[in-house]
Amino acid sequence: MIRCIAIDDEPLALKQIVSYIEKTPFLELTEKFENALQVIPFLQENNIDLMFVDINMPDLSGMDFVKSLKNPPKIIFTTAYSEHAVEGFRVDAVDYLLKPISYIDFLKAAEKARERLAPKTTDEQQINSNEEFLFIKSEYKILRINLAEILYIESMREYVRIHIEGQRPVMALMSMKKMEEYLNPSDFMRVHRSYIVSLKKVNTIERNRIIFGKDVYIPISEQYKEQFQKYLDNNFLV
């Protein structure tokens, strides 16, 4: 349930928003206000997920009120003036409702808020690891991957492709940054925006490229060249 409040200095407009909130199953009306100044002490003592805020109010406008908050709840602005739309999105409002507001438009905006407030449950979270292996979700399976068998990891936009010795590559929904965080830096190193290599599997380097097998050449980019060179220097037999 999304805890929300409604703020509007026009009683009829406030009544309409309140009625919309009450007929929406996933919204819970915590309080309603006709003045933004009344809301400030309320927020200090209550946890609110979402606010429906009219922009044009006396004393303190809805826009100035939102800007004054350090960590505001999610915001859906309501107003009779369309010129405020751009400014509303500049403060990261979920949506902007132009009066008169239909319930369909209200519900669409509320759904957007629900999406933003939903807990993150992407496959990128489905990973466990230790010093020897990791479990990772790939498609509809959870696979165990032995770290000692990984050759290199390749970025495929929002996916990574894990290349494993003697096996088919494994695809998983995972950012390279997140993958890098799970790997021991003494065993794995990023050498390119699109590649992480297993240092234990690096056998041949030629012209700023790491060679894995007959047809696989991993480039070492300028961004990571110094770091990789330090690794080589520390392990170089003169």
In this structure, what CATH number is given to the domain that contains residue 30? 3.40.50.2300
Residues 168 and 218 in one domain: yes
88 in Cβ contact with 62 (< 8 Å): no
Residues 186 and 153 in one domain: yes
Q: Looking at the DSSP assignment, which residues form a beta bridge with residue 56?
A: none
Give Rg (Cα) of the chain: 27
- Chain-centroid distance of CA 112 in Å reads 15
Please tell me the total count of domains within the chain: 2
Q: What is the pTM of this model?
A: 0.50
Tens place of pLDDT per residue across the chain (238 aa) = 899 999 999 999 999 999 999 999 889 999 999 999 999 899 988 999 999 999 888 888 888 888 888 888 999 999 887 665 445 445 678 888 999 999 999 999 999 898 888 764 444 445 555 678 888 877 667 888 999 999 999 998 778 999 999 888 998 888 888 888 888 888 999 999 999 999 999 999 998 999 998 789 999 999 999 999 998 888 876 5
Range of the domain at 145: 123-234
Residues 196 and 218 in one domain: yes
Place of tokens 């012209």: 207
Last residue of a domain, one of 117, 150, 171: 117
- Give ∠ CA 80-82-88 in degrees, rounded to 5: 100
Other beta carbons less than 10 A from residue 125's beta carbon: 12
Q: Retrieve residue 164's tokens.
A: 């494993």
Q: Retrieve residue 141's tokens.
A: 């399976």
Last residue of a domain, one of 117, 142, 176: 117
Does an H or E element contain 75, and which? strand 74-79
Contacts from 37-40 at CB under 8 Å and sequence distance 24+?
39/5, 39/7, 39/65, 40/65, 40/68
pLDDT tens by residue, 27-71: 999 999 999 999 989 998 899 999 999 988 888 888 888 888 888
Residue at 94: amino acid letter:
V
Residues 49 and 127 in one domain: no
Residues 130 and 109 in one domain: no
